[in-house]
Amino acid sequence: MTTVDVSDLPASTPPAVASFLAREHGLLIGGHWRRAESGQTLVSVNPATGRPLATVARGGMADVDAAVAAARAALTDPRWRDLNPLQRGELLHRLAELVEEHADELSYIESLDNGKPVSVARAVDAGTTAKLFRYFAGWPSKFEGATIPLSPRGGLRILNYTVHEPIGVVGAIVPWNFPMSMASWKLAPALAMGNTVVLKPAEETSLSTLRLAELAEEAGFPPGVLNVVTGPGSVVGAAIAAHPGVDKVAFTGSTEVGRLITTAATGNMKKVSLELGGKSPHIVLPDADPAAVAAAACDGIFFNQGQTCTAGSRLYVHADIYDEVMSALVDHAGRIVVGPGQDPATQMGPLVSARQLATVTSYVESGLAEGAVLASGGSRPAGIADQYSGGYFLAPTVLTETTHDMRVVREEIFGPHSSGSGGSRSPGWSRRDPGRHRLDQLLQPHRPGLAVRRLQAVRLGPGDGPRRAGAVHRDQECVGEPDMSTNSAELAGQVAIVTGGGLGIGKAVTRALVRRGADVVIAALSGMRNLAVVHMTKVLSDQLGPHGITINTLHPGVVETEHIHELYAKNAAAEGITAAQVEQNFINRTPIRRVLTADEVADAICFFAAPGSGGITGESLGIDGGLTRGIFL
C-alpha cells in the first residue's frame, strides 16, 4: 500500500500520530488486519492541504461477506457468548479508559482527517467516545426480563418468562462529520448487549475509527466481535444493508441514502435505525437580544464547519429587529478565525473534501441567482498560509433577504452557510421564558407519538395560558398512554381542542388532557364521514361520564362559531351529504352537548390537527389572529 510522506505533516504532529499514519491500514476481519480482497486502496486526504494523508484498503462485497461470516462466528464463540453482563461491562470500561489515555492522539488524527480544530476533536469526538463507552458499560446488568402469569386450560401451572437476547450481527454505517463519536454511538450499545458488529466508516474519514478498532483489540474484545471494512458507501455500505447475514443496520447520513438502506434491508426484514439530515431553524422574536441571538446562531451554524445534522442553517427574524440581528450575525461571522485544525488559533477548519466544498459553493451561487444578498463570506477567506493553498476552506457565509422558495432555505447544505429571512411574526428566541411562545404551532412532524410528547410538555404560565417546558424531541416513539398523574389538575377549567389524528392518537391525547383536568373538545376535521372520531368520542364519553367529565363533539368538521350554519351547509354540500343524513349519522350518535363560543375557542390551549384537516385556522373560524395557542400536528 502507498503510505503518507510524514514530512508533509504539521510540525506539531505527535510522534504516535505520525507513526500511525505511516502504517498500512487494512481491514479488520475476524481479529486479523488484512488487505482488501481486490488489493485496491483509497487515499485519505488532509482537507487543510488537499494532499494525501494516508492510504486505506478499499473493501468490496467479498470483504463484507468475510466480515459478516466472522461476526456470525463470534456470536457463538464461547469467548463472547458466555461472557456475563459484568464482564461485558468491564470490557467497555477498559475501552473507555484506553480512549481517554490516547485522547490527544485520537483528536489529532481526527483533526488531520476531518479538518476540524483539534480542540473540538478533543472535547467532542474523543470526549464523547469515552463517555459513551463508559455509560453503556453499566447497561448489560440493567436489562431484565419478566415473568408472565398465564391461565391455561386444565389448571396447568406454567412458568412463562422473557429474556433479552442479542439481535445478532449489527451493520453500522457512520458519516464523516463526527467519525469516531458516531462510530461509538453505534458500537457501545450494540456491544453492551452482546451483539457483534460490522462497521463501515466513511471513506473520507476512516482513520480515527481504525485506531479505535485497534484500541478495542487491546481492550480484549474477542476476534470477530468488531470488524471494520473501509471503502465506498455505494459498495461496502450497500453490501452491508442488503446482506442476509446482517440482523440490523444502523445508519447515520443523508435522507436519500437512508431511503436506499431501508429498501435494501427488506430482503431479510432486518431491523433498521436511521439518523438522517435536517434543516433546523432559529426563530427570533422582537424582544430578543440581537447580540445574544447572533452569538448563538453563529455557534449553531458554524460549529464543525456547519457539517452537523442539527446545524441552525435558517434564521427567521421578526421584522422589528431583523437588521440588528443580521448585522450582529455578520459581525460575529467575520471575526471567526478560519484555518487548519492543528493551529491553536483556529476556530473553524476546512470542509471535509473538495466535493463538499463544491456542493456548498454551488448553494451559495444558487441563492444569489434566486435573489438572495451575500452579506458575508461566500469564498475562500483571506490570510490562509501558502502551504494550505490546496485546502478546502470557505469563509463563514451569510445570505440575507432569502425566501422559502429558495433552495438554500429548503435543502440541507451541510456547510458554514446561514440564510436569514425577515418579517417573521412567529415564536422563537426571546428575552423571556422561551416556553411562553409555543413553538409547537410551527412544527408539523406528522408523528402521533411526538404529538403526545408535546402534550406532556405543556405547562400553564401565570396569566399566559400554556407554555412548553424543555425539549421533548427523542428518537423513540411514545408507547401506550402517557403517564400524567403528577399533573392531574394542571389544566383544570381550560378548554382543549383535539381534532383529527385518528382513533389511536386521538384517544391517547384526549386521555392525557382529561387526566390533567382539561375540558376536552373533540372536533372531526377530516369530513363528516369521520366515524373514528365519532366512535372515540362515544367510548370516552361512556368511560368518563360517570366521573363528571364532559366530552364534546363538534360538527360539521370545524370548531363551532357564530357562522357555524354557513360552514355546516358548505361542508355538507362538498361531501354530498344532506342535512338529514348528517343529523342521522352523526348528531344522533354523539349529541353536541354545548357549542363553544368564539372567546372559548380563542382561549383554547391545545389544537391538534391532522395533515388532512384542510387548513382549518382561526381566521376560517372567524377568530382574529387565528388559534394562537395551538399545537399543530
**For residue 112, which of 252, 34, 211 has the smallest C-alpha distance?**
211
Q: Among 431, 486, 432, 429, which residue's Cα sits nearest to residue 459?
A: 486
Q: Which residue type sits at 383?
A: G
CA–CA distance, 239 with 410 (Å, rounded to integer)? 31
Do residues 28 and 228 make contact, with C-beta atoms less than 8 angstroms apart? yes
Q: Which residues contact 286 (CB under 8 A, 6 or more apart)?
A: 318, 320, 321
- Are 235 and 242 within 8 A, CB to CB? no
Q: Which alpha helices (H) appear in 102-203, and where do they start and end?
A: 103-114, 118-120, 127-136, 179-192
Q: Which of 427, 420, 403 is nearest to 286 (CA)?
A: 427
Q: Tell me which of 24, 100, 275, 370 is the catalytic residue.
A: 275
Is omega for the bond preceding 466 within 30 degrees of 0, making it cis?
A: no
Q: Cell for 272?
A: 433498521
Grid coordinates given for 484: 400524567
| Neighbouring residues of 4: CB distance < 8 A, sequence distance ≥ 6 | 21, 22, 52, 53, 54, 55
Task: Please say if 275 is a catalytic residue.
Answer: yes
The residue annotated as part of the active site, out of 298, 309, 478, 606, is: 309
Please tell me whether residue 545 adopts helix, strand or coil conformation. Answer: helix
Spatial separation of the C-alpha atoms in residues 614 and 529, rounded to whole Å: 15
Residue type at position 609 = A
How many helices (H) and strands (E) the chain has is answered by: 21, 22
Phi-psi region of 88 (alpha: psi -120 to 50; beta: other; left: phi over 0): alpha
Residue 315 β-bridge partners: 282, 420
Kind and range of the H or E run holding 417? strand 417-422
Is 606 an annotated catalytic residue?
Answer: no
User: Which amino acid type is present at position 103?
Assistant: A
Task: Enumerate the active-site residues.
Answer: 275, 309
